[in-house]
A and B are shown apart, each in its own frame.
With several copies, the nearest count.
Chain A
């Protein structure tokens, strides 16, 4: 190995890497919330923000405590959760079923994909009058509306997920002469699971959003009904309590899917 000059200028190599890698700083999120709410509290109290624009956060909180202590919270929350569970279960399971059929069979794909694409941009509230005729005014119509709203995004996510299953794994299954049914059950379905779950995240957010529309249909209790009533009376405190509950519900559902993903997909890198 040849020798290196010792008498030359010496300088350490410049650092030019780093960055572009998000770091976790949980507390910042909390700070942002606290500052935001504090600012609104101050603004509404001093009148700098008029009471028409936003309610006073502490009043909203007091209203929430009232709602809780009166026991009405659960009376509103439980039916809504029930509607979410039943409606989303129907919509999601139908969606996954049809999505898989679309993913597996060219004929079904050709027939149904345009239909799903046509249904996707239809606003569900536009169909409310029809839902009353089709499904009545009881729970059925609320389930149906939520199911309908979750169905289309689930279908799209599912067949996308099936399409994305690594074809080399399927070819492997065929090369070992696995039956068609084994390939679907043991390779296609688990392979599509990550895509289906991340579709679920969107579907369930939509389900929560649709709660309000669903409870326009003759619901006495329910967070959506509570919000609608507050809105029609222009009662901002209650409106914000309702909206906050939905928002928290959404965050919990999202966390829940995160947990399921961790459990079910721990094989992922």
Chain B
């Protein structure tokens, strides 16, 4: 393919290991192979990224399903076209954490969290969903504390001001290691096959630019396959794993030396859905939960949110 023919697209990303599939596809030329000239747009948080897709500043992005994303879909501005990060019972996934104080207080497993506080960034965030599902399954009640920023949550957890939280492993494990926080369970035990993040684009692009969208998903899947093989299933060998960590380190923890960054990157490796397959059942469950909490309008259906023509 000639460069002139390349379609320019903007891809939104956070500097998290969970976005590695895009980085791999870029670095290894999979996007180029599909005739896509990708430029990354980096964000500090997922919510503005969703808005940026709606405003067409960004063409494709990966994020957790949140109330904001559903709301934008309801306004006819965004559509989910594929799956990304997912919980896999066989793989180390998101962890349930408690503060040291709570741990010492006997909260050594999720069932003992009754009446305790559970941290989240905002109402309608994935943390809110996880906490609610865990509580429902254990038949307990927790109170949710919106703290907006991951940093604020970590601070609150370390100083024992909130009792519990759930978070991706690369953040959970170092915290557990520091002794100020303890891991007491896995999210996967409560929400099996949880579709944590999804690939989405503007409704307009999903409907009218199928070729590009499909090309993006193909390249993204190849990146995901490489990543899964190197760091999740670890079938590609140590050398490939090392190489993968180096590749990801170009984007994540860039200001830390490689030696410090590598463990965090390895810890953060969760499965990325092969072929960008979307677990529609999980999405439906999340949507139903958002509706039941009155965080999104009742009129939203799965077809409002997902362009099922991509689901494979």
Contact = CB atoms under 8 A, between A and B. Distances in A.
Q: Do chains A and B touch in the complex (CB under 8 A)?
A: yes
Interface in A204-218: 215-218
Given A234-B71, A234-B75, A132 B296 contact: no
A128 interface: yes
B51 to A, nearest CB: 4
B147 A137 contact: yes
A41 interface: no
B161 A216 contact: no
A132 B49 CA distance: 9
8 contacts: A52-B77, A132-B48, A216-B44, A218-B43, A220-B146, A229-B124, A232-B123, A234-B68
A145 B92 CA distance: 39
B44 A129 contact: no
Interface string B16-53: 00000000000000000000000001111101111110
A233 B67 contact: yes
A147 B108 CA distance: 38
Interface string B239-255: 00000000000000001
Interface residues of A, number: 27
Interface in B226-261: 255
B123 A218 contact: no
Interface string A178-222: 000000000000000000000000000000000000011111100
Contact of B75 (A51, A228, A231): A51
A129 B151 CA distance: 6
Contacts of A234: 47, 50-51, 54, 68, 71-72, 75, 151, 154-155, 158
Contact of A218 (B49, B72, B124): B49
A220 B147 CA distance: 10
Given A138-B57, A232-B149, A217 B71 contact: no
A129 B122 contact: no
A52 B58 CA distance: 15
B148 A216 contact: yes
A255 interface: no
A223 to B, nearest CB: 13
A140 B57 CA distance: 12
Interface of A: 51-52, 70, 72, 128-130, 132-133, 136-138, 215-220, 225, 228-235
A233 B71 contact: yes
A128 B47 CA distance: 10
B66 interface: yes
A217 B42 contact: no
Contacts of B9: none
B155 A52 contact: yes
A129 B51 contact: yes
Interface in B142-168: 144-152, 154-156, 158-159, 161-162
B75 A133 contact: no
B77 A132 contact: no
B42 A218 contact: yes
Contacts of A219: 44, 146
A208 B44 CA distance: 19
B55 interface: yes
Given A229-B122, A234-B75, A133 B255 contact: no
Contacts of A215: 44
Nearest to B296: A233
A60 to B, nearest CB: 15
Contacts of A52: 54-55, 72, 75, 77, 155, 158-159
A98 to B, nearest CB: 27
Given A52-B159, A235-B71, A133 B55 contact: yes
B125 interface: yes
B132 interface: no
B57 A132 contact: yes
Given A229-B122, A233-B296, A234-B50, A136 B67 contact: no
A232 B125 contact: yes
Contact of B145 (A70, A72, A218): A218
A233 B48 contact: no
